[in-house]
Amino acid sequence: MATPSLVDPFQRAITYLRVSVTDRCDFRCVYCMTEHMAFLPKAELLSLEELDRLCSVFVGLGVRKLRITGGEPLVRKGIMTFFRAMRRHVESGALDELTLTTNGSQLSRFAADLVACGVRRVNVSLDTLDPAKFRAITRWGRFGQVLDGIEAAAAAGLGVKINAVALRGVNDGEIHDLVAWCGARGHDLTFIEVMPMGDLGNEDRLDQYYSLKALRRDLESRWTLVDTTERTGGPARYARVLETGGRVGFITPLTHNFCESCNRVRLTCTGQLFMCLGQDADADLRSALRAHPGDDAPVVRAIEAAIARKPKGHDFDYSRQTVAGRVSRHMSHTGG
């Protein structure tokens, strides 16, 4: 394997790029968007060709894992053209993994195409198994459509990991059902702590905050969890559930600061690079891209200069009973 050429000031090699390909979505999850979001004009977005060019530059600089996200990546028009283009990096061995995070609504349509593009696993966000609650959380989502999508993905041979945001007073009574449901279907399950992103009006993140320390303690009243050292390239820590044989992961940005092993950066659909999910440090790669249509060298320099400014970590903190360290942008903009 080539030596990674993107190394930040804290000696962390950057090998994982998350790319938000659109800020649009067919759902309006309460912790992610307001009901009447204003979306970006099309001219602001990187074209599919520009996304290809920029991702390919990152791959050339040692990125080995590409996660496509959004907004909802599968609602971006023509997105399969982009996935097909990325297949060449999987086939050449430059990429270890091409994957995506999706709400699942379009998976019935695209699962087989994704497999043909070299995708092997998908993360599907599903916070509840109760159709009414699902409607309340996603506002516009249809539960049956997502279940069909998950089934189609599994039938096409994709590994499915379920992501559930832990929300006190919303899905805290369902954590055992989620473990049993995923265990029976062979899906890994990862719980995520709700993060203070964007200004979403009067929803109070502190009220909904359910620490994964408490969640894990609650899970252990029914399941035997054995910690594993397995990592999947992301920030989750995993435990094996002895009763189901499945794995449960915990992404704990608030109770456990995982920044010291951070290997990733995030690209927005407008070509802004965020060096940390929880900080405002960014770099405008779109300008470099558009100013030099036939020459990647200035783009490489812009990326290297950005990595040299990667912050040490985020400052999210609920411990003082206020939401500290909040960043103003929405998760759908940065790419969750």
Decide: 163 and 126 in contact? Cβ < 8 Å: yes
Which residues face 225 on adjacent strands? Answer: 241
∠ at Cα 51 (50, 56), nearest 5°? Answer: 100
Instruction: Kindly state the greatest CA–CA separation across the chain.
Output: 60
Output the six-digit token pair for 78.
């023509």
User: What is the distance between the alpha carbons of residues 150 and 263, in angstroms, rounded to a whole number?
Assistant: 28
Site string for ligand SAM, 45-84 (x = CB under 6 A): ------------------------xx-x------------
- Shortest distance, position 150 Cβ to ligand SAM, whole Å: 12
What does 327 bind: ligand SF4, ligand SAM, none (CB cut-off 5 to 8 Å by kind)?
none
Range in contact with ligand SAM (rule: CB under 6 A) among 57-65, 191-199, 221-229, 308-316: 191-199
What does 28 bind: ligand SF4, ligand SAM, none (CB cut-off 5 to 8 Å by kind)?
ligand SF4
Q: What is the CA radius of gyration of the chain?
A: 19
Please report, as a single letter, which amino acid is at residue 41: P
* 208 part of the interface to ligand SAM, by CB under 6 A: no
The position carrying tokens 């050339």 is 60
- Shortest distance, position 26 Cβ to ligand SAM, whole Å: 9
Q: What are phi and psi of 283, to 5 degrees?
A: -140, 140
What does 163 bind: ligand SAM, ligand SF4, none (CB cut-off 5 to 8 Å by kind)?
ligand SAM
What does 171 bind: ligand SAM, ligand SF4, none (CB cut-off 5 to 8 Å by kind)?
none
What does 33 bind: ligand SAM, ligand SF4, none (CB cut-off 5 to 8 Å by kind)?
ligand SF4
Site string for ligand SAM, 304-333 (x = CB under 6 A): ---------------------------xx-
- Shortest distance, position 136 Cβ to ligand SF4, whole Å: 13
- Shortest distance, position 40 Cβ to ligand SAM, whole Å: 15
Q: Report the residue number, 156 or 236, with the smaller CB distance to ligand SAM.
A: 236
In our burial notation (b when 16+ CB lie closer than 10 A, e otherwise), range 241-264 reads: beebebbbbbbbbbeeeebeebbb
Q: Report the residue number, 105 or 263, with the smaller CB distance to ligand SAM.
A: 105
User: What is the distance between the alpha carbons of residues 18 and 263, in angstroms, rounded to a whole number?
Assistant: 11
Residues of the shown chain interacting with ligand SF4 in the complex, contacts defined by CB under 6 A: 25, 27-29, 32-33, 70-72, 103, 125, 332
- Shortest distance, position 102 Cβ to ligand SAM, whole Å: 5
Dump strand ranges (E) for the chain.
16-20, 65-69, 97-102, 121-125, 159-166, 188-193, 225-227, 237-241, 247-251, 264-267, 272-274, 282-284
Q: Report the residue number, 100 or 307, with the smaller CB distance to ligand SAM.
A: 100
Judged by CB under 6 A, the chain residues 96 through 135 that form the site for ligand SAM are: 101-103, 125
Nearest in space to 189 (alpha carbons), one of 145, 238, 223? 238
- Shortest distance, position 11 Cβ to ligand SAM, whole Å: 28
Decide: 25 and 333 in contact? Cβ < 8 Å: no
- Interface residue list for ligand SAM (CB under 6 A): 25, 31-32, 69-70, 72, 101-103, 125, 163, 165, 192, 194-195, 197, 331-332, 336
